[in-house]
Amino acid sequence: MWFWLSVIALLCWSGSDLFSKIGCRDQDDKLGYLKMVIAVGVVMGLHAAYEIFVGGTEITLGIMLKYLPVSLLYISSMTIGYLGLRYIELSISSPICNSSGALVAILYLAMNGLSDMNPWMLAAVALVSFGVIGLGIVEANEDEDLRRARQDVGNYRYAKSWLAIALPVIYCLLDALGTFADSLVLETLDEASANVAYELTFLLAGICCFIYVVLIRGDRLLPKAEGPKYLGAIFETAGQFAYIYAIGDSDHVMYAAPIISAYCTVSVLWSRLFLKERLGWKHYLMIALVIIGIVILGIFDV
């Protein structure tokens, strides 16, 4: 089942990218990214309830507090990622966000040195780093007329802005810190309990966002506008569930990891097919370097 679970995780997370983009790209909806947090909080809260009352997963206040720093890093990164979808194409945002694995490798290097690092992983980190920096340079130096011409196809225009690259990079940094902290905390915590603690914390974040958006700011949650957000939330939660069991097959993790880690390639495909995003060849070259690096890291993630 590891192969099909890996494919399901890949499709679900790429689907989450697509529907989250659709739900957050309206530049007139200043609070759209917080509404996305509400949607994910609701879906994850429902899944947590299922795991507790049906699956019998243990959860206590102590477990939630122990996992809280990791939860906050993940939730903060996702919130910033949703905000960033207002300013940049998904084709560019997704590969940058998925570069967090390279940063985890860099953190590992900082703590353990080069001696335990596979040369292929070092090359992968270099590829990802070069690709992300290259994307920023390409974005900053692209001719404005060419930008408008290619964005007219998708009927969405994104102005040249430092936020366009900065927000996905911040997501990448926070997600990498979360992953690194996760690896340390899970040495003394059950994975299922940690996942439920994360989902319940996301539910609390969603409740806080609901209070701010609806009760304080007086904004409305319209079903037509919120629908894509909840689809994105469902795909996000389903992808996480499939990922846990795919990676849990220790005999095939070296095959499952690169399949799942390449989901940003499918996100780029969806963005071209459904969002009509068009990039220049220099964008695609940098994206290709990032994706190759991510896949190599996934192969050696054993």
| Bigger pLDDT: 110 vs 243 | 243
116 pLDDT band, cuts 50/70/90, is low
Q: What's the confidence (pLDDT) of residue 265?
A: 81
- What is the average per-residue pLDDT within 50-63? 95
State the amino acid at position 210 in one-letter form. Answer: F
130 pLDDT band, cuts 50/70/90, is confident
Assess contact for 23 and 39: CB atoms under 8 A: yes
Q: What angle do CA 36, 39, 42 make, to 5 degrees?
A: 150
Q: What's the confidence (pLDDT) of residue 157?
A: 59
Q: What's the confidence (pLDDT) of residue 113?
A: 63
Predicted confidence (pLDDT) per residue in 27-44, tens digit: 788 999 999 999 999 999
Q: What's the confidence (pLDDT) of residue 158?
A: 61
Cα–Cα distance measured from residue 100 to residue 226, given in angstroms and rounded to the nearest whole number: 28
What six digits make up the tokens of 49? 């309830």
Cα–Cα distance measured from residue 170 to residue 186, given in angstroms and rounded to the nearest whole number: 24
Q: What's the confidence (pLDDT) of residue 154?
A: 56
Predicted confidence (pLDDT) per residue in 61-110, tens digit: 999 999 999 999 999 999 999 999 888 888 888 888 877 777 776 776 66
120 pLDDT band, cuts 50/70/90, is confident
What average pLDDT does the structure give for the chain? 84
pLDDT value at 227 more than 90 = yes
Largest distance between two CA atoms of the chain: 58
Q: 73: how many CB neighbours lie within 10 A of its CB?
A: 20
Helix (H) or strand (E) holding 203: helix 191-210
What's the distance, Cα to Cα, between the start and end of the chain in Å? 18
Highest-scoring range by mean pLDDT, 26-40, 123-137, 275-289: 26-40
Q: What's the confidence (pLDDT) of residue 181?
A: 86
pLDDT value at 251 more than 70 = no
| Bigger pLDDT: 205 vs 110 | 205
| pLDDT-wise least confident of 48-52, 60-64, 146-150, 160-164 | 146-150
Cα separations in angstroms, 120 against 129, 164, 252, 260: 14, 30, 20, 19
Q: What's the confidence (pLDDT) of residue 160?
A: 60
Assess contact for 129 and 176: CB atoms under 8 A: no
- What is the average per-residue pLDDT within 178-201? 87
State the amino acid at position 23 in one-letter form. Answer: G
CA 71 to chain centroid, in Å, comes to 14
- What is the average per-residue pLDDT within 177-196? 85
Cα–Cα distance measured from residue 7 to residue 255, given in angstroms and rounded to the nearest whole number: 11
Locate all alpha helices (DSSP H) within 25-118, ordered by sequence. 32-53, 61-84, 90-97, 100-112
Cα–Cα distance measured from residue 21 to residue 14, given in angstroms and rounded to the nearest whole number: 11
- pTM (two decimals): 0.84
115 pLDDT band, cuts 50/70/90, is low
- The phi and psi torsions of 122 (rounded to 5 degrees) equal -60, -45
pLDDT value at 302 more than 60 = no
- What is the average per-residue pLDDT within 121-141? 79
Predicted confidence (pLDDT) per residue in 4-30, tens digit: 888 898 899 999 999 999 999 887 889
